[in-house]
Amino acid sequence: MKEDSKKNKINTINNKTKNIQKKKQTNSTNKNAKIKNTNTKKQTNSSINKNKTKNTNIKKQINSSSNRVKTKNTSEKRQSHSLSKNIKNTDNIKNNNIDEQEVNIKNNVDEKTIKVDTKNTEFIVKRRLKKKFVVLLLIIFLFIFAFSLYKVITWAIDNIKTKNQINDIHESIKVEEVEEVGEVENIVETITEVNPPIEEESDYWYYIKMPLINVDFTELLEKNKDTIGWIKVNGTNINYPIVQTDDNDYYLNHSYDKKYNDAGWIFMDFRNNIDNLSKNNIIYGHSRLDKTMFGSLKNITKSNWYKNKDNYIIKLSTPNKNTMWQVFSVYRIPNESYYITTDFNNDDEYQLFIDTISKRSVYEFNAMPNINDKILTLSTCGDNDTRVVMHAKLIKESVRN
């Protein structure tokens, strides 16, 4: 029993040992398995890690490839974009060139159009200006024509009025010729002083035998108180009363009746005195085309007038005396004031004046005055710039009662 018990104990111990060994084996196996598992895990983890690393590398490669692709794509995109830009730029340039060409063409067309328009405008402007100019010329012409017509009508009316006055005066006033006249006071003395020719055929003796004129001024003074005398010039139409005022311009455009008239009237310079003669005594008158006033004075420079010796005489009648004047110079001269000088500071000045106006004569009269002579000057307009002038010296007078 005891042995059985021992055996049982030994068996039990063996079993236990076996169990322990088994356990150990099991544990070892488990450990090995664990280790194996661990190794396997490690291997697996390593593989996984490797795989991860590989995957990572692959990813990296993929990423790198992707990046490369991306970079390539980006580059391609950039190139494409650049190319697109270039194409666009090229297109833009082309478009710009086309636009520029179109603009240039348009500009050229516009310029041509502008030129055409400018030409058309210029043509239209010129045409309008031409029309305006023609209209202006027509207006000016019509104005000139109207003004000229007015002046002609006025001139004709003035002439008619003047002629009517002259006719009325000649009908109402008697101009008598007086045969028995006294010689000018101191005439012999004067002749002696200038050594006149003693021969009876001398012109002087011929002229002093001519009758003077005598006019009754009563009616004339009633018509016009400015009347100072009457003048008659042989070989002309001059046979009118003379007036005088303190204004030389008044009778340039007033007639004998003192009404406005462009024909004016014959008048003496306001500086002269008909009763107290100056060295040079001036009478003015318009040179009318109808030969009234001093219109016929232009004849004195013509040979027909000069050929008649009887024309070299001026007869003057005033309320106080009758006088006769012998012509010694006739001429035309540009406008000046020297020949209408009335008085002189000394005899030398007067002699120079006599010499100057005598030399101007277009004809010779053989009647040279001296410093003791009185001169009568008739002046009228030859045209706008000249004057026709006649000078005569006093050769005899008759004092009226």
The residues assigned a catalytic role are 381
Closest CA to 263 of 241, 287, 296: 287
Q: How far is CA 173 from CA 167, 176, 223, 224, 383, in A?
A: 10, 10, 11, 13, 32
Q: How far apart are CA 165 and CA 243, in angstroms?
A: 14
Q: How far apart are CA 374 and CA 314, in angstroms?
A: 13
Q: Do 191 and 204 contact (CB within 8 A), yes or no?
A: yes
Q: DSSP for 19-44, please give it.
A: HHHHHHHHHHHHHHHHHHHHHHHHHH
User: Strand, helix or coil at 315?
Assistant: strand
Closest CA to 84 of 92, 72, 70: 92
What tokens does 102 get? 């179109």
Closest CA to 237 of 267, 264, 266, 272: 266
Q: How far apart are CA 376 and CA 230, in angstroms?
A: 13
Q: Do 162 and 292 contact (CB within 8 A), yes or no?
A: yes
What tokens does 294 get? 């001093």
